[in-house]
Amino acid sequence: MRNDTPPRIAVVGGGLAGLTLALALHRAGLECRVYEQAPQLGEVGAGLQLSPSATRLLHRLGLEPALRSAAVLPEAMEFRRWADGSVISRGLLGKHCEERYGAPYYAMHRADLHRALVEALPAGMVRLDARCTGADEGPDGVVLRFADGSHAEAHAAVGADGIHSVLRQALVDDRPRFSGQSVYRGLVDGRRIPEVVAEPRVQLWLGPGRHVVCYPVSGGRLVNFVATVPTSGSGSESWSRRGRVADVAAAYEGWCAEVTSIIGAADQVSLWALHDRDPIARWGTGRITLLGDSAHPMLPFMGQGANQAIEDAVALAVCLREAGAGELPAALQRYESLRSPRTTLVQERSRGNSTAFHLPDGEAQRERDAAMGTPAPERQDWLHGYDVEAALTGHQPA
Q: Hey, which residues are catalytic here?
A: 215
The pairing of strands 126-127 and 76-81 is unpaired
Q: How far is CA 93 from CA 11, 24, 86, 200, 234, in A?
A: 34, 27, 19, 10, 36
Residue (of 328, 30, 281, 45) closest to 184 by Cα position: 45
**Alpha carbons 266 and 80: distance in angstroms, whole number:** 21
305-321 and 328-356 are packed helices; what angle lies between their axes, rounded to 10 degrees? 170
**Alpha carbons 61 and 27: distance in angstroms, whole number:** 7
**Alpha carbons 92 and 94: distance in angstroms, whole number:** 7
Biggest distance spanned by C-alpha atoms of the chain: 68
> CA torsion, points 294, 159, 51, 210, in degrees to nearest 10?
-20
DSSP-derived secondary structure letter, 61: T
End-to-end CA distance of the chain: 34
Q: How many CA atoms lie within 13 A of 386 on its CB side?
A: 23
